[in-house]
Chains A and B, each alone.
Chain A
Amino acid sequence: SAVISQKPSRDICQRGTSLTIQCQVDSQVTMMFWYRQQPGQSLTLIATANQGSEATYESGFVIDKFPISRPNLTFSTLTVSNMSPEDSSIYLCSVWQDYNEQFFGPGTRLTVL
């Protein structure tokens, strides 16, 4: 199974600033996913990040707001730009092995004041 780490684990940010979240995997994976989980809610997929190509964003999410990098097969970043209190959520990265089981990072808890 893949082991995933995320940095930071939590942060409190001011409105209008940006935060970059890092996701590191202990093995090479083709597809990485970024999810948002708003307080008390389920997970919503933000985008799929494949190495060597542009991220694919889900409806309601745009690259200007959530730019994603995927420089290699073990690392990805998600930036939450120009933050507002509505962006307060847990952000989770995940990877997919063998088109079956998904493994999740521990999440980044973001609070925007």
Chain B
Amino acid sequence: SQQGEEDPQALSIQEGENATMNCSYKTSINNLQWYRQNSGRGLVHLILIRSNEREKHSGRLRVTLDTSKKSSSLLITASRAADTASYFCAWVGGSYIPTFGRGTSLIVHP
């Protein structure tokens, strides 16, 4: 399949806990991006990490990239109920057109 894998498919945690989502892909990449989607709406871009970067932070978000393992992870620290959403990774190769993973559905209980 062109799509990689994201795990877990679903994640349910309590407010204040950390949430970790993983993404694996199959091709060489220029960059990898993470998006959030609330309730079947449009996607919101969260963070982009380039192939020569290993870690990137943005507020409560921390993204890592291991190109040797073709994998990335998104960590949301101190989660809030408002973080409840689906999270997608998308990897960008030579065509510069992102390919999306299957997504992780995150539920944060207040």
Contacts and interface: CB of A to CB of B under 8 A. Distances in A.
Contacts of B31: 100
B100 A90 contact: no
Nearest to A39: B40
Interface stretch (B14-22, B42-50, B71-79): B42-50
A31 to B, nearest CB: 9
A4 B88 CA distance: 20
Interface string B88-110: 10100000111111110000000
B28 interface: no
Contacts of A4: 42
B33 A107 contact: no
A73 B11 CA distance: 40
Nearest to A1: B45
B42 A106 contact: yes
B41 interface: yes
A92 B35 CA distance: 14
A99 B82 CA distance: 30
A42 B101 contact: yes
Nearest to A56: B97
Given A42-B3, A43-B88, A96-B96, A90 B40 contact: yes
A72 interface: no
Contacts of A90: 40
10 contacts: A45-B99, A94-B43, A99-B96, A100-B31, A101-B33, A101-B45, A103-B45, A104-B42, A104-B43, A105-B42
